[in-house]
Amino acid sequence: MKNVTITVDDGVLEWARVEAARQGTSVSRLVGEMLAEKMRHDDAYERAMQDALKFEPLPFQQLYLSRDEIYAERLDRFR
């Protein structure tokens, strides 16, 4: 593991200290876990986006059906 130095506002640091104490951990570990969670979330989103973009649209011969084509089945029932 590597150490990093960060700069935060006093209010943010106070919140981090309280949150770390509430979780029974250090501020350093809390920040590390938050960054790791952000990384996992972003990676999962990126994978899902790439999977979604792999789908090809369904091949339609026509973009729009005519009125007769839409109602053909219904009209045939009454003939």
Kindly report, residue by residue over 6-33, the tens digit of the pLDDT.
999 999 999 999 999 999 999 999 999 9
Confidence of residue 56 (pLDDT cuts 50, 70, 90): confident
Count structural domains, the chain: 1
Residue 4 lies in a domain: no
User: Does residue 2 lie within any of the structural domains?
Assistant: no
Is residue 64, in this structure, part of any structural domain at all?
yes
The answer to the question of residue 3 being in a domain is: no
- The pLDDT value given to residue 40: 93
Token pair for 38: 């952000």
Q: Does residue 1 sit within a domain?
A: no
Is pTM beyond 0.85 here?
A: no
Residue 5 within a domain: no
Domain of residue 21: give its range: 10-77
Who has greater pLDDT, 9 or 58?
9
Confidence at residue 31, expressed as pLDDT on a 0 to 100 scale? 96
